[in-house]
Amino acid sequence: MDINIARHSLAHVLAQAVMEMFPGTKLGIGPCIDDGFYYDFDLPEPLTQEHFPEIEKRMGQILKSMSPLTREEYPSKEAALAAFAGQGYKEELIRDLPENEKCTAYHTGEGFTDLCRGPHVENTRELLSWAYQIHSVAGAYWRGSEKNPMLTRLYVYAFPKRDELKAHIAKIEEAKKRDHRKLGPQLDLFFLHETAPGMPYWLPKGLKLFNTLLDFWRKEHEERGYQEISAPLINNHSLWVTSGHWNHYRDIMFSIPPQEEGETTQAIKPMNCPNAMNVYNRTVRSYRELPLRYSDCDVLHRNELSGTLHGLFRVRMFRQDDSHNFITREQIPSEINAILDIADRFYDIFKLSYKPVLSTRPEDFMGDPELWEEAERELRGILGKRFGEDGYTVNEGDGAFYGPKIDLIMTDALGRPWQTGTIQLDFQLPHKFGLTYADRDGTLKEPVVIHRVIYGSLERFIGILIEHFAGAFPFWLAPVQIGVVPVRETHNDYACDVMSVLRKAGLRCEGLMEDEGMGGKVNKFRQAKVPYTLVLGDRETEAGTVSVKIRGGKQAQDVPLEAFVKACAGLNEGQSLELAEDF
């Protein structure tokens, strides 16, 4: 049985149960999602978690009725509207159907009918062995627009077997413990405030983490011939008209209307592409300069709907580890492979695996279809040669409006997929901006542009890392790498000397000098998930050594300070995921 057919059939069963329990309910939609389905309702009274067991019980009774699910095709929209009279949301969906599309519904026995394309199982008996659980209730705007009414959305897990449901719930519980929205503030990394929705405040420790990732990114890219640039945050809207972004992104751009007569609309940039085109176009270019790789990490803003904002995963202010690589057509395979080499390097450091997905021409594409086909052929050939024909998947119609792309789908410690990096092959923007280079024979040709990110949004990537490591970062990435705990106040001077040595070696440390119990100070660093905590008492002060509490529970006594520093420097240099235990 197809898992989505079963889940969507269960969504109808949920809708029937809610309709029977709450007379007067108006139905929205009930699509499948990765771990089950949801259904939106306009209810005559509030629904809470206390109702979940009763709804699930009623669903079980409907399944046991062994009712057939039968399809009905209406001869006209008018007939369908008559059948769903009083169900305003269904009426709206019916009116919005294309004229050539058939209007269909499914009946569950004789007691329930729902507007639906289908398909569904033939009988509810086929779902008796399925395991499901209503797990949350939330508000959701009808059709995702804040201009529409707020509906009640019920989320349901649904799996073919009870063991699969239990395993999924266990993974969800573990994910809750790792939730970056809780761990981030607890670890003093960042916080969000109601006065700036979707725009994180980075605290000192969080900014150290952010800058460590960025420093590593800069070093690795400079070694590969990338040149970092920065461009204006606010641009005249004509820039976005030229690039084509104004038609595609205007609704999520923060715009500044004209302040005086003769001025035109300005906009805060939501992406870096058009600015990179201007940087390239400032002078005459030669084939000898290509590949020309302009990287930048400017702040970007997108006015995402408030209902879609989610911690660091979906924000309105963010930075990308962006680059626009200007190349000749002959350089496409080598350049994309070089970018994939960077992705291998970056993800392997965190033990994150990825799979490539090729996204092809969307309906609202820009430019010549033949160039699109050429670009897609290039990418298919590169992916097939590097990963094998079964080593990548294709997402038809999901490319950027200016070119096809390779999305890198990363898998974290809990097996959850995340779209992070992307590599976009673009023949269109160079043409729109009139970019050229002088070839060997002196003729002017258009370059090809590769838009690419590896981390993606740094905010999002950090959110992923917080959850991937459950806040226990590798030593090289940890905001505070070493905690220093003098046993008594008399040991504070030695503690200061130790911290001075650590800082001169480029190590990030923090000391707790206040006169309180040693156990309490050690516990503070443990709760902060600091990799190493140094305990300094009489013996250590006299011998010039340190006693080391290693995150996870192990300890090392009387370690020479020089040996400890050398081990830590090695962890930084090698970006190791494991902590040294022998000094």
Q: Any idea which residues carry the catalytic annotation? A: 273, 302, 320, 322, 324, 405, 451
- Please give the Cα distance from 114 to 83 (Å, whole number): 10
Main-chain phi, psi angles of 33, to 5 degrees: -130, 180
- Please give the Cα distance from 90 to 84 (Å, whole number): 7
Main-chain phi, psi angles of 158, to 5 degrees: -150, 125
For the residues of 436-447, what is the DSSP string, one character each?
Answer: -EE-TTS-EEPP
Give the amino acid at 224.
R
- Hey, what are 132's tokens? 């499901």
Chain-centroid distance of CA 545 in Å reads 44
- Please give the Cα distance from 314 to 538 (Å, whole number): 51
- Hey, what are 345's tokens? 């390097």
3-class SS at 468? helix
For the residues of 232-249, what is the DSSP string, one character each?
Answer: -SEEEHHHHHHHTHHHHH
Which of 103, 127, 134 is closest to 18 using CA atoms?
134
Buried b (16+ CB within 10 A) or exposed e, 394-417: eeeeebbbbbbbbbbbbebbeeee
Listed in sequence order, the residues at least 6 apart from 493 whose beta carbon sits closer than 8 Å to its beta carbon are: none
- Please give the Cα distance from 229 to 233 (Å, whole number): 13
Q: Which ranges constitute the DSSP H helices of 50-97?
A: 52-64, 77-83, 88-96
| Omega of the bond leading into 119 within 30 degrees of 0 (cis) | yes
Q: Using an 8 Å Cβ cutoff, are 495 and 486 in contact?
A: yes
Q: Output DSSP code: residue 44.
A: S
- Hey, what are 462's tokens? 């950090």
Which of 58, 47, 17, 7 is closest to 137 using CA atoms?
47
- Please give the Cα distance from 235 to 218 (Å, whole number): 26
3-class SS at 66? coil
Give the amino acid at 301.
H
Main-chain phi, psi angles of 354, to 5 degrees: -145, 160
Buried b (16+ CB within 10 A) or exposed e, 110-121: eebbbbbeeebb
Which of 359, 372, 352, 477 is closest to 418 using CA atoms?
352
Rounded (10°) CA dihedral 160, 166, 168, 171: -170
3-class SS at 39? strand
Across-strand partners of 151? 140
- Hey, what are 174's tokens? 């573990």
Listed in sequence order, the residues at least 6 apart from 478 whose beta carbon sits closer than 8 Å to its beta carbon are: 209, 508, 529, 530, 531
Rounded (10°) CA dihedral 88, 93, 98, 101: -110
Residues in the chain, how many? Answer: 583
